[in-house]
Amino acid sequence: MIPRRTQRMVARAALAVAGLTGFVLATAAPALAIGERGDPGGRLTWVQTVLIFVGIPVAAALVITFLVYLPSMVRGPRYRPGRPWTAGSVWFGGPTDAAPAEVPPSAINEGGGASARW
């Protein structure tokens, strides 16, 4: 009997090979699409060549750059050192009301914690 772990590894490997095979066939399909006469197509002009081999990579780089900087553009201005702070104060994880925190006297006299008094 083959262990379940080995079965899963074989199934994942088969899925990866099938996906890679599908990807290769999908990307190679245009190269295999030969016309009726056996002619793969006409020649490209220099403008078409530049647009394909330079324009598409530059456009992809611009789209990726835009997607990287988009969150900071949407967020808006932020604090810069040396400028006055205009936002209100926020206490993260503090009490929800505005009353000052009080420590009960029994908590002060108890042992334990970092002092190692048990």
Per-residue pLDDT tens digits for 61-108: 999 999 998 888 787 667 788 888 777 777 777 766 666 656 665 555
Token pair recorded at residue 46: 């220099």
How many structural domains comprise the chain? Answer: 2
Parent domain of 67: 43-73
35: CB partners within 8 A, 6+ apart: 41
* Residue 62 placed within a domain: yes
Same domain, 2 and 31: yes
12 inside domain: yes
Q: Is residue 118 part of a domain?
A: no
**50 and 30 co-located in one domain:** no
Q: For residue 66, give both structure tokens.
A: 């835009």
Strand ranges (E), the chain? none
Instruction: Say if residue 51 is exposed, middle or buried (CB neighbours under 10 Å; 0-12, 13-18, 19+).
Output: middle
- Mind giving me the DSSP string for 93-110? TS-SSSSPP---HHHHH-
pLDDT of residue 61: 95
> Is it the case that residue 41 has pLDDT exceeding 80?
no
Q: Is residue 96 part of a domain?
A: no
